[in-house]
Amino acid sequence: MLKFIHLTDTHLVPAKQALWGLDPAWRLRRAVQSINRHHADAEFCVVTGDLTHYGQREAYVALAEELSQLVVPCLHILGNHDHRATYCSIFEDASVDTNGFVQFVRSAGELGRCVFLDTNEPGVHHGVFCEKRAEWLRARLSENTGDKVTLFMHHPPFNVELPSMDQYSLLDPSHFRHAIDGHESRIRHIFFGHVHRPICGAWRGISFSTLRGTNHQVALDFDATTLIRGSHEPPQYGVVFMDLERLIVHMHDYLYRGETFMMDGSKEFLEYS
Ligand SMILES: [Fe+2]
């Protein structure tokens, strides 16, 4: 059984600054504390982009500081709010492909491989998966063709029926679509971020999931077409279990502090972290 943690959209800003009235570092810290306490047996944690909000060096320093407290290895990919060169200057062991994109592979043993993709394009908020990135993915999919593959990316490669966010999904998903053509049955799941909402479903027969970020959220507003409506719904992390037959994703509202009750009628206060 493979167990890992999915975090997304941490949107760190320089220390002591707020974002949408919240402290992104504090909220990430609480996630890290909860993961350390309850999921120290996870094989890794992955953050699927928008690691920082403005891409400043000081924000990546703050991010590195917070993530250094995790007791499980942590992997990251880039989102539209990130700055690739600055990220790589702080995370010097970042895995980049021959074209400089933050794309890499991690073995999941008999469960195949986890493949992490870069959809960041400087200066824009929509995602880009260009032919160079697609070539890299095509090459990975042509290796070990008996392996299953689990994909991780920031932008969804399809619309999720939230028009204000869909305008910023992959601008031209054709390179991605063509890269995975014929491999759909090998792809276990696509984990992505970007939308700041808990969503799951299937696309071209491939299951997918995303979840709320650790700072601010996107409201469930199917009518907004241009401006994005934000919200302060609770942050989440995902706890993922995979074996040869199952892929299970639990979404956890890790800041919840409140009464719980046992089904025999007794009550207790549950402190998650
Ligand atoms: Fe984001």
Per-residue pLDDT of 58-90, as tens digits, reads: 999 999 999 999 999 999 999 999 999 999 999
Model confidence at 113: pLDDT above 70: yes
* Inter-CA distances, 217 with 48, 64, 183, Å: 15, 22, 33
How far away, in angstroms, is 218 Cα from ligand 1 center?
9
Provide the domain limits for residue 9.
2-270
Angle between helices 24-38 and 57-67 (to 10 degrees): 20
How far away, in angstroms, is 81 Cα from ligand 1 center?
7
Note the pLDDT of residue 272: 53
How far away, in angstroms, is 9 Cα from ligand 1 center?
5
Note the pLDDT of residue 122: 96
How far away, in angstroms, is 139 Cα from ligand 1 center?
29
How far away, in angstroms, is 213 Cα from ligand 1 center?
7
How far away, in angstroms, is 209 Cα from ligand 1 center?
15
Model confidence at 174: pLDDT above 70: yes
Residue whose tokens read 């929509």:
126
How far away, in angstroms, is 164 Cα from ligand 1 center?
13
* pLDDT tens-digit readout, 211-255: 999 999 999 999 999 999 999 999 999 999 999 999 999 999 999
Domain count along the chain = 1
For residue 264, name the pLDDT band (cuts at 50, 70, 90).
confident
Tally the C-alpha atoms within 13 A of residue 66's C-alpha that lie toward its C-beta: 29
How far away, in angstroms, is 24 Cα from ligand 1 center?
12
- Phi first, then psi: what are they for 239, rounded to 5°? -110, 120
Note the pLDDT of residue 234: 97
How far away, in angstroms, is 50 Cα from ligand 1 center?
5
- Evaluate the CA torsion angle 153, 157, 162, 168 in order and state its sign: positive
Note the pLDDT of residue 157: 97
- What CATH code is carried by the domain that includes residue 250? 3.60.21.10
Neighbouring residues of 56: CB distance < 8 A, sequence distance ≥ 6: 13, 14, 83, 86
How far away, in angstroms, is 175 Cα from ligand 1 center?
23
How far away, in angstroms, is 123 Cα from ligand 1 center?
15
How far away, in angstroms, is 268 Cα from ligand 1 center?
35
Q: What is the mean pLDDT of residues 4-26?
A: 97
How far away, in angstroms, is 67 Cα from ligand 1 center?
18
How far away, in angstroms, is 272 Cα from ligand 1 center?
25
